[in-house]
Structure 1
């Protein structure tokens, strides 16, 4: 039996107490006024990540993917999706197959295809060479290769031909459909949501901007039950916009994500994303060819700090980093909160919200 004491961050509250762990499972969470000053939060759940620590998910290399997951684990991310970018179908299929062992051993919670079914006008750093309209036959083959467990989320633009059919197909097969990289009108966004989309991919970024006569996808997503991803790196979103979106959606519908690429945790320099050169300078990743922001260099612990610095209460920021994305994935009966019966995934932070220790399934992991 292991006991960890400190300020326990639970849904809606921060209370002094301790977490008792037996093997891989939390067995009790109790108040204790004698607890220390460490802050204990649930292990982070990242819905949207392309890599980190010099390693990428986007090429389908299993060893590289395992190393990228280990980098983020050291920063407190105990559950994550491996996000691909717009790619040829063959790469998507092969990556899904090759990541099956990582899904089986829970290194990954599954695969997220960010594209290729995206708007050319809002593709951002996605490679326009690989963009195409949604294809139910492609999705059916990917789900088959993924053995009904690896494919967890697909980002697509709801205004494209065949998009609502693809969204409905994903819903029927238990795969999250996310609205993103879209030039959709408000009505087109609502049609995608009505078809079954339940996530907004990095809200504001890669989307038609809001306008008071054409609200577009941002308002359509906020005015829905969809979970809205927010990249809290103070680059993709101004802190004020981050706080506004978090308040508008509420902590039960706002999810912090990294959208990190392999340059996360690495020096400035030249990198690659989806076959395109990326230049990182002062933490900002941009395409060499046109200066578009190309993912981030963020980690989830930094996202939590930035959210709190923007004025979001710690308990809400922790929910956005853990509880809400876990529920979006349908994993809230396993991870995402410090509650008896859940897996013992937690992060011990100091008063400045810097990671001190990370536990996954009851085992401390390296953080150096």
Structure 2
């Protein structure tokens, strides 16, 4: 038995002053004790939507780059993450599945998220319009079969021809169907949820804005049962809008994500995303061609801190950053919370929630 941490331990229900005891790579016990310090321990972060970081990208399907991006985010507390690709030719998508499958089997990645290419031209944002297309069932089935569990999420615009069939197929094959980059009406959004969609890809961003006579996808998703991704970088969402959305959906339906690109943790400059040039200035990434926001330079430790600064309770914010996304991935029996019997993934933070160090599978990095 090893005593790994003393301080304020954030469980799914409360902040417990005490000690975290480990048995190898597993949490053995949380022992209450009022005589501990003010450092904070939260569960290791689970990021459902990440394109890269530290100068490395997932979007090209390159294995070495994927390892570099995963290592960078692990250093910022993300102990579980999906490798997100952007809209791409099918050949690249299939190559990424083949290349990343061993990384998933080794536990470096939790799987792949395909953000596209079955998205709306009208709401493509930073997605490359040259690669957008209506859902192709033969492509989707081949990707899932080739991955053997590697493909974990796919974002689809529900208003496209064949989209509802695609969503139902994804749901039936254990893949999270997400609604995003969509110009759908309120009713079309609810049709996508009824077909099996369970996630909203970066709520508000890449979506028709709400209107009081046509609520559109934002209100449609908030009023449904899906989990809503939220980019807490204070750029994609105003802190007040973040607090509103998280308060509306609750911590069990709200998910903090980074949407990070390779420029995360790097100097300002010129980068590339899905075949398009991206310019990063003062931590904001935009397409050179039209100024559209192109992902983020966010890490999950900063996302948690921003969520709390926006007024969200620490316990709820930790659930949004770890527990809820772990449940969506079907991993809540193994990770995503600080509780006896789960894998010892944790992030130690200072009293102001700045990163101190990361615990991964019982070992401090």
TM-score, normalized by length of structure 1?
0.98
Match of 1:141 in 2: 142
- Give 1:264's aligned residue: 264
Distance 1:347 1:61 in 2: 28
The equivalent of 2:356 in structure 1 is: 356
Give the Cα–Cα distance (whole angstroms) in 2 for the partners of residues 78 and 232 of structure 1. Answer: 18
- Consecutive unaligned residues of structure 2, counting only runs of 5 or more, are none
User: In the TM superposition, what are the counterparts of 1:289-328 in structure 2 within 5 Å?
Assistant: 289-328=289-328
Displacement, 1:39?
0.1
CA distance in 2: counterparts of 1:18 and 1:212, whole angstroms: 50
Q: Does 1:56 align with 2:57?
A: yes
Q: Report the alpha carbon displacement of residue 30 of structure 1 after superposing the two structures with TM.
A: 2.1
How far did residue 304 of structure 1 move? Answer: 0.5
Matches of 1:30 and 1:201 in 2, distance apart? 38
Q: Supply the distance in 2 between the matched residues of 1:106 and 1:345 (Cα, whole angstroms).
A: 13
User: Is 1:346 matched with 2:346?
Assistant: yes
Alignment of 1:180 with 2:180, yes or no, is yes
Equivalent runs, 1:22-171 vs 2, <5 Å? 22-147=23-148, 149-171=149-171
Aligned counterpart, 2:227: 227
Mark the runs of 5 or more structure 1 residues left unpaired by the alignment: none
Measure, in 2, the Cα distance between the counterparts of 1:301 and 1:362: 19
Question: Are 2:206 and 1:216 aligned?
Answer: no
CA distance in 1, matches of 2:30, 2:121: 49
| C-alpha separation in 2, matches of 1:158 and 1:73 | 33
What is the root-mean-square deviation of aligned Cα atoms in Å? 0.6
- Aligned equivalents of 2:201, 2:214: Cα separation in 1: 20
| Whole-angstrom CA distance in 2 between matches of 1:27 and 1:345 | 12
d(CA) in 2 for partners of 1:93, 1:364:
35
Q: Secondary structure at the match of 1:120?
A: coil
Alpha-carbon distance in 1 for matches of 2:339, 2:296: 32
More off after superposition, 11-20 vs 190-199: 11-20
TM-score for the superposition, normalised by structure 2: 0.99
Shift of 1:170: 0.5
SS at match of 1:242: helix
- Residues of 1 paired with 2:164 and 2:28: CA distance? 43
Query: Which secondary structure does the structure 1 equivalent of 2:262 belong to?
Result: coil
Specify the SS of the correspondent of 1:134.
coil
Match of 2:207 in 1: 207
SS at match of 1:48: strand
